[in-house]
Chains A and B, each alone.
Chain A
Amino acid sequence: MKTVLIKTHEAWLEMLMAGFMSRTESKQILFDFSDILFRHFTWIEHELIEIGESYDYNRDNIPIKVSRLSDMLKAITARLLEIDLQLVGTPDRDLAARMSTDIAYMVDVLHGMNDEVVTAFNMERRLPNTELTEEATDALTLFLFDESYKEYELIMIYNYLKAHSDDAFLNRIFQILIDESFFHLKQFGEMMAKMGILAVPRVVMRELYEVEDVTAFLKAGIEEEIVAKEECKKLSDAVGRDSQSLAKFFDFINHQENYHIALMREALVHYEKAENG
């Protein structure tokens, strides 16, 4: 089961990366498949919690640097077939059957997908129809690497907290924050692929998601969101001189962070109330 969790985690990210690489109608299919694989991941995690088996979010590094999409699709197919084989030992037969039929369909669709030339790794660092100065390009590059990892980290942390909580109030907040981070990750990943600097976010350290003191975590998280807002504002200012549309996009992301902070404050009040009886 633990191996299935790890391999599904890897397949989810691989599929997401393939979605960023694609420039055709395949993109949305790959994103949808990646969403399904993330759901598989959470269901397997639930199973592991149910049977009391320890687990973590460690995984291998995932090589994605390909020049043709078909190479990526072959790698994903191999991983999916590996997961399918491992499902034999999964105690929840309904879950195993569901995953197996999903995998069979996905493999079939991937097999029929048209090949594409991949430009997501050419390091050109240029966005279509946008002329940025070298300084603004560097600022944007650093922001995208920092924040794409941060969004992945938040998905993993909130997912872990949600998996280990049966509090409906908190789980609603965690789910919103997961969904929001997915949106941001997809936006930043798209931009990275267009700029030729696509990369898989690095593995999240265990101590980050195995949160021992949730109130301290939320307080630190609120501070981090405030810093992230400032970074967004700085970036918006840096690129604003060259591209109004890019500046507007980062202001849009910046304004979304306000609601995240409000939700985290709500969660904090809820936790503190529960702690103080």
Chain B
Amino acid sequence: MSMDAMVIEHMMNPKNYGTLSAANAEGMGKNPENGEKVVVYIHVKEDEEKPYIDEIAFQAIGCTTTIVAGSMLTEEAKGLTLDGAKNLVAATMQLLEKLPDEDAACSEMVVLAIDAAVDTYMKRKEETDYPMLTYQVSHTCTPKEEEA
């Protein structure tokens, strides 16, 4: 991870870290290889023409890179409509494809957790007690030389 002042600020003061008591959906991104996971909590404001994420929080069992990714991406997702959040997920996944696997895995967990939270919200529109969705990462966190 390259460290400029903005990254260090996210390390020192991660934005949106914690749970959200008012959440109306949650989603999990998980790395089955090492047990790391990210849970994203969202509150979608529904009384608008286009519902949007007005509050978001995340918690993680993971490394500092995951926390920085969670801090940055939840800031990006705040205020987005559900379509906007889906676009953010798609655009970030495209960017991650250009990174080495071990660099991409932590951010992918966060992106998948946002995606899962939005999908959980949609499912709950039809079935109110629909359980939290969990998506698993496709990238591996293990650096190439350690795999051999």
Chain A residues engaging chain B, CB cutoff 8 angstroms? 58, 61, 65, 121, 123, 125, 138, 141-142, 145-146, 149, 197-199, 202-203, 205, 207-208, 220
Contacts and interface: CB of A to CB of B under 8 A. Distances in A.
A70 B8 CA distance: 25
B95 interface: no
Given A146-B64, A205-B61, A208-B61, A197 B17 contact: no
Interface of B: 1-3, 5, 8-9, 11-14, 17-19, 35, 39, 59-61, 63-65, 67
Contact of A65 (B13, B19, B59, B61): B13
A202 B8 contact: no
Contacts of B64: 142, 145-146, 149
A142 B7 CA distance: 11
Contact of A197 (B1, B11, B35, B59): B11
Contacts of A149: 64
Nearest to B17: A202
Contact of B3 (A121, A141, A199, A208): A141
Given A146-B63, A203-B18, A220-B35, A198 B12 contact: yes
B59 A123 contact: no
Contacts of B13: 65, 199
Contacts of A65: 12-13
B96 to A, nearest CB: 19
A223 B40 CA distance: 27
A203 B12 contact: no
B8 A205 contact: no
5 contacts: A61-B18, A65-B12, A121-B12, A123-B5, A145-B11
Given A61-B17, A123-B5, A202 B12 contact: no
Nearest to B63: A146
A199 B19 CA distance: 19
A58 B35 contact: no
Contacts of B65: 142
A205 B19 CA distance: 10
Contacts of A138: 1-3
Nearest to A199: B12
Given A145-B64, A202-B67, A205-B61, A123 B8 contact: yes
